[in-house]
Amino acid sequence: MSHRRAVALVLLSAVGFGSMALFAKAAYASGVAPSTLLALRFVLAALMLAPVVWIKGLQLPRGRVLAGYIAMGCMYTAQSQSYFNGLLHASSGLVGLLLYVYPVLVTALALAFGWEKLDRRMLVLMLVAVGGMAVTLGGELQGKPIGIALALLAAAIYAFYILLGNRLSRSRQDTHPMAACVVIMVTAAVNNTGLAMWNGVALPDGAGGWLAVAAIALFSTAMAVACFLSGVKEVGAAQASILSTLEPVVTLGLGVAMLHESVSASQLLGGALVLTAVVLLAQRPPARPAAGATGAREASALS
């Protein structure tokens, strides 16, 4: 695969992940409940990817590694529930930007656990990111406090999710990323289906709603994951992470263009500061073997 094609695949995956909020808004407008939407998302995505794993003859993880990926599926359930419920109380652009605090949280947690060393450059970037979030939250926000809290909770859960993915990726058991993805998605499908049944199933009431659900499952989940995993082999985890910062930009842009959501100057400034810090942090030379970074981004590709 050529480098240019690999870059295009990673960018396409970013568009898929970034457009999920837009499809979710359309699905909500058709009457579907968040728990039902998430159940349909992961069930359909798992049904799309499982045949690929079976045809390729990929071996599923075993033992403690399997338990770890199941735990990631449970964490992904909590993260997704927080994110999609947050969209009910805040604009898609704001929720997308707040979610993208997770790379900064991952860095902070890695420092706290002693896995990274703090230098002056990293400290400055952390301050820029925090300052950007303060500017963003200080503007005219299109969202209730509960929406902001849920978005930040989703970012925090996602940070722990990625750290666990890092640890599992460095285990002695060699698990293909696609096989790991299926385990995570099946776990999330089971959990979200149970929550949907507990809260009451509310299906889309029209063709438009079903198309939005199908787009989330196919374009924003199965296709996005497949494109990322294909492209990252050529461009590497570091460059793929930088390219994937297109995700919140897509979310914000689509919210303005398609949902007519307004964006204040302070939100644009704050978002720019956060994204600048995230990009520069992604360019930081890895302090551990490349396999660990690849595992982290593999986990991130499932959002």
Q: How far apart are CA 281 and CA 275, in angstroms?
A: 10
- 189-245 pLDDT, tens per residue? 999 999 999 988 888 888 889 999 999 999 998 888 777 767 766 665 545 666 676
The percentage of the chain sitting over the pLDDT mark of 70, rounded to a whole number, equals 77
Annotated domain spans of the chain: 33-201+255-300
- Look at residue 124 in the predicted model and tell me its pLDDT: 78
The percentage of the chain sitting over the pLDDT mark of 90, rounded to a whole number, equals 18
Q: What is the pTM of this model?
A: 0.73
- 70-87 pLDDT, tens per residue? 998 999 899 988 988 887
Mean pLDDT over 257-265 rounds to: 74
Asked if residues 255 and 85 have their Cβ atoms less than 8 Å apart, the reply is no
- Look at residue 118 in the predicted model and tell me its pLDDT: 63
Tokens (6 digits) for 44? 């359909």
- Look at residue 76 in the predicted model and tell me its pLDDT: 86
Look over the chain and give the mean of its residue pLDDT values, rounded to a whole number: 78
Mean pLDDT over 254-278 rounds to: 75
Tokens (6 digits) for 126? 């952390």
- 228-239 pLDDT, tens per residue? 767 766 665 545
Asked if residues 76 and 302 have their Cβ atoms less than 8 Å apart, the reply is yes
